[in-house]
Chain A
Amino acid sequence: MPSLGATFGRGAATMPQWELANSDCVIIMGSNMAENHPVAFRFVLEAKERGATIIHVDPRFTRTSALADIYAPIRCGSDIAFLGGLIRHILANDLWFKEYALHYTNLATIINDRYQDVAELDGFFSGWDPESHSYDLETWQYRGEASPQKLEENHVTTGEPYSQKLRRISSGAPPVDLTLKHPSCVYNILRRHYAAYTPEMVERVTGCPKDTFLAVAEALTRNSGRERTGAWCYAVGWTHHSTGVQIIRAAGIIQALLGNIGRPGGGILALRGHCSIQGSTDVPTLYNMLPGYLPHPHALKSDATFKEYLEGQTNKRGYWNNFPKFAKSLLRAWYGEHANDGTEWGYPWIPKIMGDHSQLPMTMAMADGTIRGLLLIGQNPVVGGHNSRLVRKGLGNLEWLVVRETFESESASFWYKCPKVISGELSPSQIKTEIFLLPAALPGEKDGTFTNTHRLVQWHDKVVEPPADCRSDLWFIYHLGKRLKALYAGTPDRRDDPIRHLTWDYPEMGPYNDPSAQAVLKEINGYTWPDRRQLVSPEELKDDGSTACGVWIYSGVFPKDGHNQARSHVPDGPDGPGTHLGWGFAWPDNRRMLYNRAAADPAGKPWSERKRYVWWQDREQRWTGHDVPDFPPDKAPGYKPDWSKDPQGMAAIDGDSPFTMISDGKSSLFVTSGMKDGPVPAHYEPVESPVHNLFYHQQNNPLAKKWLRPDNPYHAPADPAYPYAITTYRLTEHHSGGMPTRMVPSLAELQPEGFVEIPPELAREKDIATLDWVVVSTARGSVEAKAMVTHRLRPFTIDGRTIYQVGMPFHFGWHGYATGAIANTLTAIIGDPNTTIHEGKAFTCNLRKGRLPVRAQK
């Protein structure tokens, strides 16, 4: 998500799923959409019905490939080589959408002339500091100014902090050369950067035949432009890499060059893994964000006081100039009357973060005894977490562990059921963790909302009361908070103020004193203070404390008492515009398509009749169309900031700059800051790869987060002991960690056991037949599973060598009707530098026919 944020301004899918039906070309890459998003896939088939070309680029031939027109096989982990090849193809053959890209992206912007590219520095960008193992971003800035673009870059801990850079932002127009002659303009940087990514190189690196690659390039470019649009769909097949964020960036560059953002049938659809994963980053469960993507205060940055925090985050230009309104309203919602100037609005009560507190480092902190207790809610890390043995070691090293699940999961039962205990190597008495398994309610047993993959918030009612002691997560959190408040009510310590002063006044209802989920949603929406009138839109938010708002981007979801827009079910009829503005609520401000100002040309006219969506109405001097315009409604297309008056906020954004969350209003083909590992995506091999990097001497992403330790070893590049590439994945029939699907008989019978998919060519070499037992090993551990020999996996020819690739679904464990070895026993803890998302889609392994002795199955 940071990649979409850095490129377009908001870390979210740019288009609604149903818009795929209006697409002329749908490329699915890094996603097995038909299997993992079967309902959304209906829109892909609707597009096909209307004549679109469907393309699937993937290491495996899947149920998605079966419905595609072109299947482009690539070796796992070679995505940027493929995408870079497309960027080169577009630029070298002059196939980009000139009027769109020149005006709506930073293609013509001139970059600091001291910038040097990976092409010159053999895999490094300028600014590399081998000591701190990080980049100084100074040379990546626009010429003659600091150009902090996006709030998320706050988390770039390298070089000059965001807040410092903000103070140096210039007050003139960014340096631009619309003739594209300047050697340091982004256009020429991109051309040089991707010059090496020729179709021949794409074939050598990815294993995708050159003619297949060119067929993809031809289909995509033919279906982009004024009259036609193409869409990309991706999922965790892109994010679960040490270069995950840069892979998505590459797709962002392609779509912006081709003019496929903010237009009907065009966009990038981030297909999110679970029903409310988008909600969990919006509201959020992320350690480094406060609700609504406000950066979490950091102990080691200039975030000491509220004033400093606000100054350090408020960008002079663009929509984020409203930052103080969002932050102050959030604190008002949290601390009510205790939020005032005297208490610094309660800001000191928010704990400060100190570094990376995401799941991977947390796992190691547990193993090392730094973390002593854990609440595990709706997650099964023993199955879903990387390096399962290390996860088990961590959980077994805690003092206490609370697991809230619908069934007993592997994460709650590892102490008596894990293979190490079964084999007698470890006794339950050696595990000191006290484990509490609390029964949780399923979705039908509670009220609440889901925020789906395209930011659509939809309400669901409770259908039945949960059985016995099962309770909703909301019930648990609320009553836990209530007890903590009672516990600290009378203490004299100031350190207890954060709990004492917290607003915790949700009405209770029903036989189990459930807190009202509607009341929570009303608080998320926001209200005026102190008279508590619901806000209708984020535009109403104030920075004087007269508004309270739990999540500013959700303002409008509950616009007045008794009107829960998330619960609204009014679709457009068959003759309607098809944006379904009456169905649920999509943030921000019920916009279905983000950046939809780009659906009109710089003068405000639709690019074509066929792709009409949002346009400037001259007579009324307003933006109008099928959707809520994602632009100030009355800002004329010809508006230019008067730089002599030092314009602030939205006044500094042109009338033809649709990406208003970015400080220059342009989509960032070149990201000046916000990406730790480079302003432009470059191909690096996965940390574990069967081959060497053919583009640069630098093998891996130099900033990949590695934790090399005895319980988390890595394989060397092209390690002969682990010669095969391996990828892990999900199946339609099961949910991530297997809870609760492995417990449901009618699902379990559909995929009843774990397996390893093996190409027949490798199976012949190893004398393996389908249903034979095989052992898959890495330096982290070994597992056994039955073989599924299939032509759907294929050998790749990489630089003249045959590379075999195998695959394993990761849902299985020892509980339920459908069981199998835990595939994540094989994976290592390696993270993307920007997000610390694990690298599970591409690593290496060994494979042999046979079984494991019982003792070795750990």
Chain B
Amino acid sequence: MTSAVYPPAVPMRARDHTESTLSRVIPDESELTAGITIRPGRTYGFFTDTSLCIGCKACEVACKEWNALPAQQIGLTANSYDHTRELSAITWRHVTFIEQIEDNPGCRANRLKPFQSHWLMMSDVCKHCKQAGCLDACPTGALFRTEFGTVVVQQDICNGCAYCVPACPFGVVEINFSDGKAHKCTLCYDRLKGGFEPACAKSCPTNSIQFGEVDVLLTRAARRVEKLHALGVDNAYLYGAPGTAGATGGIQQLYCFFLLLDRPEVYNLPVAPQLPSGRVAKSLGTGLAAVAGLGALAAVLMTQQSKAPRPGRKR
């Protein structure tokens, strides 16, 4: 009786490991928890379905615990229940809260659309772009594409130049000033190598964060959008799937893509992100033109100057 859209609640392999005491780690644990086998050479990512998010922030905590990340500066913000503010060098999952309780001024709704509505919650993360700006910008090779298709920073190689920081159209990468290196989500590279699904996806209680092979996730996500549309949630759309918002400007595709229920900017996501490299030709041309123009101007000025009477000596 499980919905076709989601992996079965109890995968078949769950019956293989019923002993409480195990002599070793369960091989390919992700088969039990996410229903998939992780193999190098394939491309993995997240489908974050905000329509199922309850804003519990388990993903934020699981990420910090697994990756041993410290807490941020602690304090109340004016952003609803979001007090970690944004993705940063030490916050790799971040849940955004957007209150839209009023339908119209003075009117709060009681009949709501199915699944999430009126208080939007979205767990943001590094998008692991197919064409990644950070990767293009990195001069040292510290950023690299892993055997799972993800983008990871190697802090032992990173020289802290921070070129990757403005190169990310999503504002994901950040330099941690305690070590001077770039940091961001690794899609739990260490876990993937051990056959575990990433910590955030494993901890998500409502399947809002789904981990898997990107192509499988894309098919599932497309069906999900169709289903939501059929249920009257006509505002549901994908952000970052090929050909959708978020996959613009040369990025091609976000391996960690989203199902959103309002415009991207509402979630603090760029409407039409672009790779900086896409602007290289243009800026190179502009730069060259500027140099040529300035050169010409200088030449003109110099010629004129040599012809002009010298004011100081006029008298």
Contacts and interface: CB of A to CB of B under 8 A. Distances in A.
A63 B55 contact: yes
Query: At the interface, is chain B mostly helix, strand, loop or mixed?
Result: loop
B15 A570 contact: yes
B112 interface: yes
B76 A786 contact: yes
Contact of B119 (A65, A747, A753, A788): A65
B18 A745 contact: no
Contacts of A753: 74-76
A49 B112 contact: no
A49 B119 contact: no
B101 A45 contact: no
B56 A35 contact: yes
Interface in A786-811: 786, 788, 790-792, 794
B10 interface: yes
Contact of B18 (A63, A209, A570, A731): A570
Interface in B26-80: 52, 54-58, 60-61, 64-65, 69-72, 74-76, 78, 80
A572 B10 contact: yes
B84 A50 contact: no
Nearest to B84: A749
Contacts of B56: 34-35, 38, 63, 732
A208 B78 CA distance: 29
A746 B64 contact: yes
A750 B61 CA distance: 9
Contact of B207 (A42, A68, A209, A786): A42
A482 interface: no
Nearest to B117: A66
Contacts of A568: 18
Contacts of A818: 74
A578 interface: yes
A215, A573, A576, A578: residue with the most chain B Cβ atoms closer than 10 Å = A573
A854 to B, nearest CB: 21
A559 interface: no
B101 A790 contact: yes
A45, A46, A66, A818: residue with the most chain B Cβ atoms closer than 10 Å = A66
B229 to A, nearest CB: 15
Nearest to B82: A750
A212 interface: yes
B176 interface: no
A39 to B, nearest CB: 5
A504 to B, nearest CB: 28
Nearest to B113: A69
A335 to B, nearest CB: 33
B102 interface: yes
B31 to A, nearest CB: 13
Interface in A672-719: none
A752 B74 contact: yes
The bracket for how many chain B residues form the interface is 35 or more
A748 B20 contact: no
A808 to B, nearest CB: 13
Contacts of A38: 54, 56, 58, 205-206
A568 B15 CA distance: 11
The bracket for how many chain A residues form the interface is 35 or more
Interface stretch (B1-9, B150-158, B262-270): B1-9
A770 B78 contact: yes
A743 to B, nearest CB: 12
B11 interface: yes
A790 B80 contact: yes
Nearest to B58: A38
A574 B111 contact: no
Contact of A752 (B61, B76, B113): B76
Nearest to A53: B114
A66 B114 contact: no
B172 interface: no
Given A569-B19, A752-B83, A791-B99, 16 more contacts: A21-B1, A42-B206, A61-B101, A63-B119, A63-B121, A68-B112, A69-B114, A568-B18, A573-B10, A574-B2, A574-B12, A731-B81, A749-B83, A770-B78, A792-B99, A817-B74
28 contacts: A21-B9, A35-B54, A39-B205, A61-B118, A61-B119, A63-B121, A66-B54, A66-B55, A66-B118, A66-B119, A67-B116, A69-B112, A71-B110, A461-B21, A567-B20, A568-B18, A574-B12, A578-B1, A733-B57, A746-B60, A746-B65, A746-B69, A751-B81, A753-B74, A771-B78, A786-B76, A790-B80, A817-B71
Interface of A: 21-22, 34-35, 38-39, 41-42, 45-46, 48-50, 61, 63-73, 209, 212, 215, 459, 461, 567-574, 576, 578, 582, 731-733, 745-753, 755, 770-771, 786, 788, 790-792, 794, 817-818
Interface of B: 1-3, 5-6, 8-12, 14-15, 17-21, 52, 54-58, 60-61, 64-65, 69-72, 74-76, 78, 80-81, 83-84, 99, 101-102, 108-121, 205-207
